[in-house]
């Protein structure tokens, strides 16, 4: 009978009242959008790549390696993982009995207290007097306190919830890592662009100084009006202001990189120009199937939160039923230490408690409703994360599909501006055009060259954005 009862308890302990987890369907189209803004995408699935396969410049890869070792946000994420792992272990421990060991020595004295100092009474000869006893008692016990039989899976559901939140914390750490890698690549490319913009401003300023010098000589010789000098000085002042602005931007770029890396960055690891860094990032094939979004760390984190909320429904449902706890003690007790560890000194006790609230104002039912509402919110959060991920990829693909044409048009504009400046300067020197026409051509060329540099930055940053939007490196879920 005892064996049958134990088997029945074991079977009941395996029950779970959590609803079966069903992954929601993707709330986005199965394929990426198509149209004028999008290029025809390869149907190959996204390859499994390391960031070193995408960020191929060894200087950039070394900066990323340094950041992965020193960034404080990554250290916080690692600490959060350890905390979540410990929380899971704490919750899982509640399913096991707590066993304690104790040993003691007690000295006692059961003497009488019936003497009355106001009466001459011989207590020792009184038939009603109790004899005084004294001695020492030794004990050694092993006890189990308040071990709950998980008949309805309450503790198991809570452990499942803690485990999924631990997995979610790991996914959040991967999201932090992915964001860090992308931010470093963007900051590195921005530094390269600002170096090129500074060089362009310095070259323009040098050219403008020569024109100011020549125009002043023409003014002194009575050949040019003062307006020509003032217009030439405007071009020079604009370029000098841009030099100051770009110098500041470069210093701030270095500060941003050092914050991301968490340590000083060797200047030798920084690009000398945008042309020097232009091919540092490879282009990723996006793949046709949008289910690759399920590997994005933020989407994985949202799904683990949904799984945890689903498990908590089971714990809330189990709370509607009685809780059975077992207590037990087995030990040895003797009045002499020499006989403590003998068979005659053995003693034990065991007990079981059943606790069930007859009236709690509907708190247990409200707890079930609360967890169900939290599960519904987690479903919406999971679907929202997928939709946001889909938009990120779609936006990146839209930019990727048009940036090549924009670059071609911008380069053509720069070529036309260069030729126009050369021709107008020749016409001005030949007395066919005014100085103002030549200066306008110089302004247009300067603006066109700046636009080309910023457009090239957009093109390079788009590759980084696509890497982040697709979820970066494929890491198997726990």
Give the domain CATH number at 125. Answer: 2.20.200.10
> What's 303's domain CATH number?
1.20.1600.10
Nearest-angstrom CA–CA distance, 182 and 224: 54
Model confidence, pTM? 0.76
- Where in the sequence is the domain holding 115, given as residue range(s)? 97-149+322-355
Which pair of structure tokens corresponds to residue 397?
């693909």
At 344 the three-state DSSP class reads helix
Nearest-angstrom CA–CA distance, 341 and 332: 7
In a domain? residue 308: yes
Give the residue from 416, 449, 456 showing the smallest Cα distance to 204: 449
Sign for the CA dihedral angle at 261, 263, 269, 273 comes to positive
In a domain? residue 138: yes
Q: Are residues 23 and 135 part of one domain?
A: no
State the helix-helix crossing angle for 154-220 and 58-70, rounded to 10 degrees: 130
In a domain? residue 234: yes
Q: Are residues 255 and 349 part of one domain?
A: no
| Per-residue pLDDT, 112 | 46
In a domain? residue 210: yes
In a domain? residue 64: yes
Total tally of structural domains belonging to the chain = 2
| Per-residue pLDDT, 299 | 87
Q: Are residues 371 and 298 part of one domain?
A: yes
What does DSSP assign to residue 34? -
In a domain? residue 109: yes
Q: Are residues 264 and 178 part of one domain?
A: yes
Name the strand (E) or helix (H) holding 346. strand 346-355
Q: Are residues 169 and 302 part of one domain?
A: yes
| Per-residue pLDDT, 12 | 45
- Mode of pairing for the β-strands spanning 134-149 and 98-109: antiparallel
Q: Are residues 161 and 57 part of one domain?
A: yes
Q: Are residues 268 and 220 part of one domain?
A: yes
Which pair of structure tokens corresponds to residue 24?
């929601």
Q: Are residues 336 and 216 part of one domain?
A: no
| Per-residue pLDDT, 49 | 64
In a domain? residue 191: yes
Residue in this structure with the two tokens 């900051």, named with its chain if needed = 187
230-243 residues labelled b (16+ CB within 10 A) or e (exposed) = ebbbebbebbbebb
| Per-residue pLDDT, 407 | 94
| Per-residue pLDDT, 289 | 63
Q: Are residues 292 and 162 part of one domain?
A: yes
In a domain? residue 6: no
Domain boundary (355, 375, 405) is at 355
Residue in this structure with the two tokens 């309450």, named with its chain if needed = 154
Q: Are residues 108 and 87 part of one domain?
A: no
Q: Are residues 416 and 336 part of one domain?
A: no
Domain boundary (301, 335, 355) is at 355
Measured in Å, how far apart are the chain's first and last C-alpha atoms? 42
Q: Are residues 281 and 201 part of one domain?
A: yes
**Residue 281: strand pairing partners:** 55
**Residue 353: strand pairing partners:** 325
Residue in this structure with the two tokens 């020492």, named with its chain if needed = 136
Domain boundary (305, 332, 355) is at 355
- What are the percentages of helix, strand and coil residues in the chain, rounded to 5? 65, 10, 25
Residues of the chain with pLDDT under 70: 1-17, 22, 26-49, 108-134, 138, 140-141, 147, 150, 285-290, 320-321, 323-324, 326, 328-361, 472-478
């Amino acid at each position: 009978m005892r064996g049958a009862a134990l088997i029945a308890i074991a079977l009941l302990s395996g029950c779970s009242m959590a609803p079966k987890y069903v992954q929601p369907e993707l709330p986005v189209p199965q394929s990426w959008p198509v149209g004028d803004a999008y290029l025809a995408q390869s149907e190959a699935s996204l390859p499994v790549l390391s960031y070193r396969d995408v960020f191929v410049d060894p200087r950039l890869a070394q900066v990323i390696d340094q950041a992965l070792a020193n960034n404080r946000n990554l250290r916080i994420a690692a600490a959060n993982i350890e905390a979540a792992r410990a929380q899971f272990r704490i919750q899982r421990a509640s399913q096991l009995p707590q066993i304690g060991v104790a040993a003691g020595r007690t000295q006692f004295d059961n003497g009488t207290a019936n003497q009355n100092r106001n009466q001459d009474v011989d207590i020792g000869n009184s038939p009603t007097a109790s004899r005084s006893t004294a001695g020492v008692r030794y004990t050694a016990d092993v006890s189990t306190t308040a071990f709950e039989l998980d008949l309805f899976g309450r503790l198991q559901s809570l452990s499942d919830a803690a485990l999924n939140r631990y997995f979610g914390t790991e996914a959040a750490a991967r999201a932090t890592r992915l964001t860090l890698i992308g931010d470093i690549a963007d900051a590195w490319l921005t530094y390269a662009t600002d170096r090129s913009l500074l060089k362009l401003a310095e070259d323009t300023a040098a050219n403008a100084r020569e024109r100011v010098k020549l125009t002043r000589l023409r003014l002194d010789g009575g050949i040019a009006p003062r307006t020509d000098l003032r217009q030439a000085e405007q071009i020079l002042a604009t370029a000098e202001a841009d030099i100051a602005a770009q110098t500041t931007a470069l210093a701030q770029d270095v500060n941003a990189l050092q914050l991301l890396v968490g340590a000083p960055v060797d200047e030798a690891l920084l690009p000398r120009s945008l042309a020097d860094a232009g091919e540092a990032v490879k282009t990723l094939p996006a793949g046709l199937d949008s289910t690759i979004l399920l590997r994005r760390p933020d989407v994985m984190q949202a799904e683990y939160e949904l799984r945890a909320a689903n498990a908590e429904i089971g714990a809330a449902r189990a709370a509607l039923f009685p809780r059975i706890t077992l207590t037990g003690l087995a030990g040895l007790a003797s009045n002499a230490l020499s006989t403590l560890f003998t068979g005659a000194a053995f003693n034990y006790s065991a007990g079981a408690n059943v606790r069930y609230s007859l009236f709690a104002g509907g708190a247990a039912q409200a707890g079930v409703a609360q967890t169900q509402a939290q599960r519904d919110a987690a479903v919406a959060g999971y679907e929202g994360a997928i939709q946001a991920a889909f938009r990120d990829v779609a936006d990146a693909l839209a930019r990727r599909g048009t940036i090549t044409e924009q670059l071609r048009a911008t380069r053509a504009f720069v070529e036309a501006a260069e030729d126009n400046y050369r021709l107008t300067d020749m016409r001005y020197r030949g007395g066919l055009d005014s100085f103002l026409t030549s200066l306008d051509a110089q302004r247009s060329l300067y603006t066109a060259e700046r636009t080309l540099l910023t457009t090239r930055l957009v093109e390079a940053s788009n590759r980084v954005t696509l890497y982040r939007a697709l979820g970066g490196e494929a890491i198997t879920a726990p």
